[in-house]
Structure 1
Amino acid sequence: MHAPFASDPEQTRGRLVAEPSSAHRSEFQRDRDRIIHASAFRRLKHKTQVFVEHEGDYYRTRLTHSIEVAQVARTIAKALGLNEELTEAVALAHDLGHPPFGHTGEDALAELMAPWGGFDHNAQALKIVTRLETHYAAFDGLNLTWETLEGIAKHNGPVTGDLPYALAEYDARHDLELSTHAGAEAQVAAVADDVAYNNHDLMDGLRAGLFSVDDIRALPIVGRCFAEVDRRHPGLDPDRRRHEALRRVFGVMVEDVIAESRRRLAAAAPASAQAVRDLGRPVVRFSGPLWSDLQQIRAFLFANMYRHARVKKMRVTSARVVRELFAAYMAAPESLPAGWNAHALSGDETRLARAVCDYIAGMTDRFAYNEHRRICGDRTWR
């Protein structure tokens, strides 16, 4: 039984291009399925979070991360009485717009695209699902429902100020009400993202040897979870001990979100999905004390993982690959594949830059390196 403030697929605001309803699937189920079958979703398999694609088989990729986020999001959505299919659709799509090399690639493209409307991975995800996926006969993109598009565009909160061009262009023809908070399902997807990456960055950092268990035992939440495992399972081998402790960290975060969100929803008593948007504040959140604990964990990861010498070296090389690929395509747009260079050779510099940006943003880590080596003749990345 869904809560009154859950999004109802029978009451969706619809799709930009009208389609007949499915006899067997709800509108939000169809959105989820289209995202899973999208080319951009498959490419997430070879786009990494912190490490580059060839570093090892066990580190998280954007694909495994998105699946983990969707699992957490469904758990929270079910506990809160929300629509699980919509929550899952937004969770699975939230990273579609990430370029190769994670935030390093995004920072490089944002700097390069500053003269031509900027770059933002959420805006790029929206562009992918509304234009760049070209598999359907009747429309470009996936023709998702308004609710799913809203969640992709603003699951992290209202979007105001100077909009990235990809977001501004679509919003001009299909108003996503960017200045308001998204529905509760999209808010769940955003918090589930925080839960997933806080946990798996600790796990990946330990696996990579960037820090040790002794280094993180002083962190809030983490220390007491290790202490509980040691009390319950003395002498456990290191791998199981680490897993048992970090899954408890995971559980602490999820339980906190559910308890705090129930408290906020009970206080606000929204009578509909739209009432959640109209509140002017988020309803799905961590509690204050746990959020403070997470900030300490993030500060530790920033200093000991994201700014570790090994990771910084990869960041420098990866940023150079993106910058030099961009320059090479801008100088010789005919080197773009057919279908891309048709747009790029129009003689309009803005159009060219945006085509080059879209092409690079869609690359996997490995393909970007190989393409850089092919075009620029540079093997120093190895």
Structure 2
Amino acid sequence: MSQTPPNDTPFADTCGFAPYAEIPSDTFGRLVPEPASRTRNAFARDRDRIIHSTAFRRLKGKTQVFVAHEGDHYRTRLTHSLEVAQIARSLAHALGLDQDLAETIALAHDLGHPPFGHAGEDELQVQMEPFGGFDHNVQTFRVVTKLERRYPGFDGLNLSWETVEGVVKHNGPVTHKLDDPAWKAIADYTRTSNNPDWDLRLNSFASLEAQAAAIADDIAYNNHDVDDGLQAGLFTLTDLAEVPLIGPALASVRADWPDLDERMVRLEAVRRMIGLMVDDVLAETERRLAADRIVTPEDVRTARRTLIQFSDAMMADLGVLRAFLFERMYRHYRVNRTRSQARRILAEMFQLFMAEPEVLPPEWFGRAGSDDLNRRARAVCDYIAGMTDRYAIEEHRRLFSIDLIRDL
């Protein structure tokens, strides 16, 4: 891949970076060239654009597991993304990677999630099946390359190639997904960009920074879901005593602090479990980097496997923990009731907007008013996917409650 003419080639040197790290001054640039920032390298600038985006702000009102209005202390997509970013930066620092790029991809990874978490995604997949499908990872890509409209010179955020690549491929190569209609937007992206340097190389792995963000996501949600589930009363500390990872962590806390109250036992055990997972990832990653003779960023992209990963023993323990959370939390009847309500809200709004696009706000009616049903459905989907939980609930009430007709 030839390098793009110098746009955003910053002043930072390579001191402290491992040889396989992404270097900001070596970025392949932006699809629309821009002058370099005087104060930030390319990846830090990407991070700031994500933080200032509308989609990022809306994450504060989007479900992680519990609907955002159910309690002040449960994680939302925003607090989850911040925790992922913190862990990703820590991993990047320990491995000699670019911390800004790892943090940027972590902050961006959930921008495409609709309201009501996975229940919302499941329902939009159903509604969009005849119209090209829905996938939250693809929606994140669409947010950063098209839907955010903040700059006069381009749609989207015009992020660096390495950031867009990480958003698309942080979980590994995606060529096996390209037959899914929802992924057509990504398959078409470089073909329509008229810039051969913007081939996202969908058959290769992404950078180690992107892989750090991906594993940080796993670490964050497995730990904070334990914490949130305990706070919600879906299970107890006693229920966790025999569960791998958290059970031994609880036992070690009690051994060190026999008189500690349950709240502090919970917090300290979760903290220790995060540390245990991070240490495991660092050890396994260093083993893989050495075994696979990884020297350059290109070695990372052409590797035979993911390089930042848990050990086999940790993966086995995580499987048991996830099975416990699935049974006792993700499919708890209280969560199921919320999921059921959420899906009905989105289904009814989607179907109404498709039948009567004139009830959409003017900006969205302009996008959806076409007789082309595929175009209409995509605009309706974009509108709904961008909603917070609270906005979706209120919009549904405005549309379907006769008592509120005077407030329209």
TM, length-normalised to structure 2: 0.91
Counterpart in 2 of 1:168? 187
Question: Deviation at 1:14?
Answer: 1.1
Give the letter for the 1:286 counterpart: F
Equivalent residues in 2 for 1:1-382 (5 A)?
1-160=16-175, 161=177, 162-163=179-180, 164=182, 165-173=184-192, 174-377=198-401
Give the letter for the 1:196 counterpart: A
Q: Is the 8 A contact 1:45 1:63 kept in 2?
A: yes
C-alpha deviations, 1:300-337, integer Å up to 9, x for none? 00000011000000001100101001001001111111
Number of residue pairs matched by the alignment:
379
Q: Structure 2 CA distance, aligned partners of 1:169 and 1:52?
A: 34
Question: Deviation at 1:271?
Answer: 2.3
Q: Structure 2 CA distance, aligned partners of 1:98 and 1:242?
A: 29
Question: Deviation at 1:186?
Answer: 0.4
Q: Which runs of 5+ in 2 are unaligned?
A: 1-15, 193-197, 404-408
> Structure 2 vs 1, CA of residues 172 and 378 (structure 1 numbering), >3 Å: closer, same or farther?
farther
Question: Deviation at 1:171?
Answer: 4.0
Question: Deviation at 1:269?
Answer: 2.5
Q: Structure 2 CA distance, aligned partners of 1:283 and 1:156?
A: 11
Question: Deviation at 1:23?
Answer: 1.8
TM, length-normalised to structure 1: 0.97
Give the letter for the 1:167 counterpart: I
Q: Structure 2 CA distance, aligned partners of 1:100 and 1:332?
A: 22
C-alpha deviations, 1:256-289, integer Å up to 9, x for none? 0011111111222222112100113110000000
SS at match of 2:191: helix
Question: Deviation at 1:227?
Answer: 1.1
Question: Deviation at 1:169?
Answer: 3.5
C-alpha deviations, 1:38-84, integer Å up to 9, x for none? 00000000001111121110000000000000000000011111110
Q: Is the 8 A contact 1:180 1:280 kept in 2?
A: no
Q: Is the 8 A contact 1:372 1:378 kept in 2?
A: no
Q: Is the 8 A contact 1:104 1:315 kept in 2?
A: yes
Percent of counterpart pairs with the same letter?
A: 56
C-alpha deviations, 1:129-180, integer Å up to 9, x for none? 1111101011000000111001111111111231423323424334211121
Cα RMSD for the two superposed structures: 1.2
Greater Cα shift, 229-238 or 157-166: 157-166
